[in-house]
A and B are shown apart, each in its own frame.
Chain A
């Protein structure tokens, strides 16, 4: 039997909802359980509804789950807004004061006076979440010592009094739950592989991965949902000899990256759509001057200031094309937290090797969600470096030498005999300004040749995930964080007797042509789910491959749900005389 359990904790921001969720997640990860989470953020600084959902499994999970097995709500509003997502046989744990609807009767509801317990027995309302945690520990059969151990670590710096407080609150929650909650409830604490898994957010994975990849110069301007990357680096980069500078704006940030990279360092900035818009002139400079750079874009609802705390995948065309002129750049889009950790290193390698800017496209949901990651993912050593001249070029160094190679050797300032100019103006081989048509053509071809070279490079192979049946007639193509819901939807469709093939390219510029072309030949219908209004990946695919696509777009500020994708698959299947898989008869 596989273990697959989804928990949601919902309440008001400030009630400690996230602490409850994180504690459960962290303890499970230490057991070696796989987990995926999702959390929402209120739009305001203080107050507003928030929730965290955690799906635990003994297999790798790509999605945080649609219906929840257990719902914990801390107030009436949270109950009203979340109850619809509780499975029919699910268990509700909620505040005693709340009105709980009777229907459906298949549900079990446990109502405990969390708030009163916290105030009366612990003497502080803020302990409420720990009381809830105690009750939840009983319900989920989490050993008490695991929770105590974790809380002791988490609150170690807050002093003995707080620790004692928490221990009491935890015991109170457990004690009351023992009386109220039947020991026969169906939950059990997951048994994992034993080996601890790392638990981190996408933003933490990017920050750690970049550090492991040798990134030592970070420039940034605060923006939701990317700020945590700079915050983590500000705390940790100095110890490994790196430097973090909070700049006056995103233009300064990307220009700092350009300067530090030209001077020989691995440099990065992280921002969201509004920042990338400001950076687009400098992106062209990086292309033109052939300087490696990594720009993380954690997308949020747009355009303009848009919906800062909501997720969206609407910067794809900005990433691929944004900036004037023909300005090639690399675009990598991870699909999970584990990808964030491993692919950021690859992004640096490719940017360095091909001397060009690379955009690492994530989104709010991926940036913020906690997920388990295999600790071995960290062990990736840099696999490529910038091609550099050794020095003493006789004083006439051709920084932009034309040859059959994809790149020409750079020279790091300080190298003797290789003094040269880099420039955003069109230039000859020596970096001198030249605006004749021949030079402009030759140099543009030189810059674009890199994309073809990247496509053929062994480093960038295997950057597509595949799901489902290879001989299916219905194909689904998606990107970034929508990969999880698609993977899940394909499984559900299979259970309903419909074979679907899914492909998720994690490199979006250059597109992996061989793999996509083969894929398009193998299927009859192409569904493209993504989180934007116009179907940005779909339009890239249509213009590149002249295929027609069925676009499934969503702009609600939250990830796609597998059921939404399944509906489109079912509709598409109805239009095709699809051969149903053999299990069709039983799945109804």
Chain B
């Protein structure tokens, strides 16, 4: 089979609702290419999302999909993975979804090291609701809800993920599709919580922050000498204000949530009856 055909296997046939020129098209094709490359059976893939333009992605892919509520994709995905650890779980969503309304969940799913991949589409704007600022808006400080400028500093998603305890953190760019595909593949292969911040443009609203030409001129691949296990070095790369580094910032290994549950189960087994009926005795 031609690689192109293999990618098609992962498309649902529903055409994306995104605006012409939206950076999300590039992410969608990088994602299905990653699926094809990993040869994952469609029924074993679960794509989970919240609400927003980015969160519409699961409709366009032929896998199991859960389009939830605004900001709650991560906790839903955590539940899915707990009940069926054999599923490959990928979460997609916008910067508002993941860092504003859903910002309280990221630290916990990260520290739990849930074995899933989170692709955060950073377009520095609320696309779906048509142009209000997001937690990552900075340059385009005049938006529909900030006519006189922004009230707060922008959040740096990749840096946050590193501090929160994600065990794989990378930054990609929707325009550099092959590079992004490779990042997604590495993220999905990583056992534990993988976070990929994807810089991407919104063709309708914020055209300044994620201006493609500006990013192209100001980016570079992560230096091959960078030690991905060095958390502070990773943080420095992620927070560099002069240059945008694309690639893997951080990678480490520690027990996943599932590993922890397995441990608990075996220590519980050592102590207790393993049949529910055994639980009754304590009340008699």
B264 at the interface (CB under 8 A from A): yes
Q: How far is the CA of A219 from the CA of B264 in the complex (A)?
A: 16
A420–B65 CB distance below 8 A = yes
A419–B48 CB distance below 8 A = no
Select from chain B the residue with minimum beta-carbon distance to A424.
B69
The number of residues on chain B lying at the interface, defined by a beta carbon within 8 Å of a beta carbon of chain A, is: 55
Of the stretches A14-22, A87-95, A138-146, A251-259, the one at the interface is A251-259
Q: Given A241-B265, A281-B69, A414-B44, is A419 in contact with B75 using a C-beta cutoff of 8 Å?
A: no
Q: Given A249-B104, A375-B284, is A255 in contact with B68 using a C-beta cutoff of 8 Å?
A: yes
Which of these, B14, B269, B276, contacts A212 with CB under 8 Å?
Answer: B276
Select from chain B the residue with minimum beta-carbon distance to A418.
B43
Select from chain A the residue with minimum beta-carbon distance to B42.
A419
Select from chain A the residue with minimum beta-carbon distance to B43.
A416
Q: How far is the CB of A379 from chain B (nearest CB, A)?
A: 9
A282 at the interface (CB under 8 A from B): yes
Q: Given A239-B273, A256-B79, is A378 in contact with B280 using a C-beta cutoff of 8 Å?
A: yes
Q: Given A239-B271, A421-B67, is A255 in contact with B76 using a C-beta cutoff of 8 Å?
A: yes
Q: How far is the CB of B118 from chain A (nearest CB, A)?
A: 14
A259–B80 CB distance below 8 A = yes
A260–B108 CB distance below 8 A = no
**B-contact bits for A216-245, CB 8 A (1 contact / 0 none):** 110100000000000000001011110101
Which of these, A217, A236, A289, contacts B79 with CB under 8 Å?
Answer: A217
Select from chain B the residue with minimum beta-carbon distance to A425.
B67
Q: How far is the CB of A399 from chain B (nearest CB, A)?
A: 10
**A-contact bits for B250-273, CB 8 A (1 contact / 0 none):** 000000010001001101110111
A415–B43 CB distance below 8 A = yes
A239–B265 CB distance below 8 A = yes
Q: How far is the CA of A395 from the CA of B86 in the complex (A)?
A: 21
The bracket for how many chain A residues form the interface is 35 or more
A259–B283 CB distance below 8 A = no
Of the stretches A192-200, A347-355, A463-471, A480-488, the one at the interface is A192-200
A196–B284 CB distance below 8 A = yes
Q: Given A239-B272, A243-B261, A433-B59, is A413 in contact with B80 using a C-beta cutoff of 8 Å?
A: yes
Q: Given A255-B76, A282-B72, is A424 in contact with B67 using a C-beta cutoff of 8 Å?
A: yes
B79–A257 CB distance below 8 A = yes
A80 at the interface (CB under 8 A from B): no
Chain A residue numbers with a CB within 8 Å of B81 are 259, 263
Chain B residue numbers with a CB within 8 Å of A251 are 72, 75
A265 at the interface (CB under 8 A from B): yes
B275 at the interface (CB under 8 A from A): yes
A259–B77 CB distance below 8 A = yes
**A-contact bits for B90-117, CB 8 A (1 contact / 0 none):** 0000000000000011011000100000
**B-contact bits for A518-532, CB 8 A (1 contact / 0 none):** 000000000000000
A424–B63 CB distance below 8 A = no
Q: Given A239-B273, A251-B75, A421-B59, is A217 in contact with B64 using a C-beta cutoff of 8 Å?
A: no
B127 at the interface (CB under 8 A from A): no
Most buried by B among A240, A255, A412: A255
Select from chain A the residue with minimum beta-carbon distance to B71.
A251
Q: How far is the CB of B76 from chain A (nearest CB, A)?
A: 4
Chain A residue numbers with a CB within 8 Å of B87 are 263, 413-414
Chain A residue numbers with a CB within 8 Å of B82 are 217, 243, 245, 256, 259-260, 263, 265
Chain B residue numbers with a CB within 8 Å of A212 are 276, 279
B191 at the interface (CB under 8 A from A): no
Select from chain B the residue with minimum beta-carbon distance to A373.
B283
B46 at the interface (CB under 8 A from A): yes
Which of these, B64, B75, B271, contacts A420 with CB under 8 Å?
Answer: B64
Chain A residue numbers with a CB within 8 Å of B272 are 236, 239
A248–B108 CB distance below 8 A = yes
Most buried by A among B81, B261, B274, B283: B283
A247–B75 CB distance below 8 A = yes
B181 at the interface (CB under 8 A from A): no
B78 at the interface (CB under 8 A from A): yes
Q: How far is the CA of A514 from the CA of B75 in the complex (A)?
A: 41
Q: Given A238-B261, A252-B105, A267-B79, is A413 in contact with B46 using a C-beta cutoff of 8 Å?
A: yes
Which of these, A236, A281, A421, contacts B66 with CB under 8 Å?
Answer: A421
Select from chain A the residue with minimum beta-carbon distance to B108.
A248
Chain A residue numbers with a CB within 8 Å of B80 are 259-260, 262-263, 413
Chain B residue numbers with a CB within 8 Å of A30 are 284
Q: How far is the CA of A281 from the CA of B27 in the complex (A)?
A: 29
Q: Given A258-B76, A259-B76, is A248 in contact with B105 using a C-beta cutoff of 8 Å?
A: yes
Q: How far is the CA of A211 from the CA of B277 in the complex (A)?
A: 10
B218 at the interface (CB under 8 A from A): no
Chain A residue numbers with a CB within 8 Å of B283 are 198-200, 204, 208, 373
Q: How far is the CA of A433 from the CA of B272 in the complex (A)?
A: 48
Q: Given A263-B83, A285-B68, is A432 in contact with B14 using a C-beta cutoff of 8 Å?
A: yes
Chain B residue numbers with a CB within 8 Å of A422 are 65-67
Q: How far is the CB of B45 from chain A (nearest CB, A)?
A: 8
Which of these, B44, B75, B278, B284, contacts A198 with CB under 8 Å?
Answer: B284
Chain A residue numbers with a CB within 8 Å of B83 are 216-217, 259-261, 263-265, 267
A423 at the interface (CB under 8 A from B): yes
Q: How far is the CB of A432 from chain B (nearest CB, A)?
A: 7
A417 at the interface (CB under 8 A from B): yes
Chain B residue numbers with a CB within 8 Å of A248 are 104-105, 107-108
Q: How far is the CA of A557 from the CA of B94 in the complex (A)?
A: 45
A419–B64 CB distance below 8 A = yes
Select from chain A the residue with minimum beta-carbon distance to B63.
A419
Chain A residue numbers with a CB within 8 Å of B52 are none
Chain A residue numbers with a CB within 8 Å of B65 are 419-423, 431
Chain B residue numbers with a CB within 8 Å of A259 are 48, 66, 75-83
A255–B86 CB distance below 8 A = no
B58 at the interface (CB under 8 A from A): yes
Q: How far is the CA of A247 from the CA of B107 in the complex (A)?
A: 11
Select from chain A the residue with minimum beta-carbon distance to B272.
A239
Chain B residue numbers with a CB within 8 Å of A245 are 78, 82, 112, 257
B84 at the interface (CB under 8 A from A): yes
Select from chain B the residue with minimum beta-carbon distance to A29.
B284
B245 at the interface (CB under 8 A from A): no
B76–A423 CB distance below 8 A = no
In the complex, besides A252-B78, A262-B66, A419-B62, 13 extra interface pairs with C-beta distance below 8 angstroms are A212-B276, A216-B83, A239-B278, A245-B257, A255-B72, A259-B48, A259-B66, A259-B83, A260-B79, A262-B76, A412-B84, A421-B67, A423-B68
Q: Which residues of A contact B (CB under 8 A)?
A: 30, 196-200, 204, 208, 211-212, 216-217, 219, 236, 238-241, 243, 245, 247-249, 251-253, 255-265, 267, 281-282, 285, 289, 373, 375, 378, 395, 412-425, 431-433
Pairs A-B, 6 closest by C-beta atoms: A259-B79, A256-B79, A255-B75, A238-B268, A263-B83, A265-B83
7 A-B pairs whose Cβ atoms sit less than 8 Å apart in the complex? A238-B261, A249-B104, A259-B48, A259-B81, A261-B83, A263-B81, A414-B86
Q: Which residues of B contact A (CB under 8 A)?
A: 14, 41-44, 46, 48, 51, 58-59, 62-69, 72, 75-84, 86-87, 104-105, 107-108, 112, 257, 261, 264-265, 267-269, 271-280, 283-284
